Amino acid sequence: MSRFASYLAAVLVTLAAAPAQAALPADPLGSPMWQRLGKTLFGDAPVRFDPRVRVIFPDIAENQRQFPVAIDARGIAGVKRILLFADLNPIPLAVDYTLEAAQPYFSTRIKLDQRTPVRGAVQLADGSWLVSGGWIDAAGGGCSLPPISRVKGDWAQHLGEVRGVARWGAGGMRIRLAFRHPMDTGLIDNIPTYNLEEVALTGGEGRRFGDLRIEASVAEDPEFTMIVDASQNEEVVMAGRDTNGIDYAARLTPTAAAAPR
């Protein structure tokens, strides 16, 4: 056998022994970016579309700078991670939420640059992903318009401010956090990318609830709502940081949720 034939045989044996890459399922939304984006976000992990991943949003983006989205997967057991992304945004991924002692739910607001699918994906304990979402009609430009705070010129006076509320109820403790931040995408001349980058939630004794990794496609002055498995009187500690190294911190003392009327 020639040296080339021996080499070719070795390559074929190697390819045959290599594990086959998991094929992404056909996209029910018909997005032109699904295959490329899916491989980037999920790698070779198994992926299925599942309507139990509830991605909740308005049908039309009346304000492409501030589009509200909630992902609710509380009907699915074993969720350990949640992604929020918009296929056709220049920065598709908005939030990567790793759960510890938390319910698989969060909400926020994102920017939309054009008509696009907006999706939620949840990762299970076995590494597989469940995906759902829908198309959103948007006028466009949400990622390439200057933040209102920069137009007004007051953003630097409020940078670093954070407000938070913790309300305890039968379903867990609902945490709402609001930050002052321009969340610059880097798509505007002479304004580099600058965004809130990470937020970690822990209990008063250091028990970890969850971690948010945040991209610049989240809306200016970002707000987040999560539900954590804290006890009724447990203090919640928030620690955050932006891409310029500015730290954010808050300690939230829970209050009881109002009883339904």
For residue 51, what pLDDT is reported?
Answer: 97
pLDDT at 13 > cutoff 90: no
For residue 159, what pLDDT is reported?
Answer: 77
**54-73 pLDDT tens trace:** 999 998 888 989 999 999 99
Of 56, 52, 59, the closest CA to residue 69 belongs to 56
Which tops the pLDDT comparison, 250 or 140? 250
Residue the block writes with tokens 């070779």? 44
Q: How far is CA 235 from the centre of its chain?
A: 24
| Distance, CA of 79 to CA of 160 (rounded, Å) | 31
pLDDT at 10 > cutoff 60: no
- For residue 142, what pLDDT band results from cuts at 50, 70 and 90? low
For residue 145, what pLDDT is reported?
Answer: 62
Q: How far is CA 53 from the centre of its chain?
A: 14
**194-252 pLDDT tens trace:** 999 999 999 977 899 999 999 999 999 999 999 999 988 899 999 999 999 999 999 99
Q: Where are the domains of the chain?
A: 34-256
**163-202 pLDDT tens trace:** 999 998 888 999 999 999 999 999 888 889 999 999 999 9
| Widest pairwise Cα distance in the chain | 85
pLDDT at 1 > cutoff 60: no
- For residue 255, what pLDDT band results from cuts at 50, 70 and 90? confident
Which tops the pLDDT comparison, 120 or 21? 120
Which tops the pLDDT comparison, 34 or 64? 34
pLDDT at 12 > cutoff 50: no
Both tokens assigned to 140: 């466009």
Superfamily of domain 34-256: SoxY domain (2.60.40.2470)
**95-116 pLDDT tens trace:** 999 999 999 999 999 999 999 9
Could you tell me which residues are beta bridge partners of residue 161?
Answer: none
For residue 256, what pLDDT is reported?
Answer: 73
Question: pTM of the predicted model, to two decimals?
Answer: 0.86
- For residue 6, what pLDDT band results from cuts at 50, 70 and 90? very low
Of 175, 140, 180, the closest CA to residue 160 belongs to 180
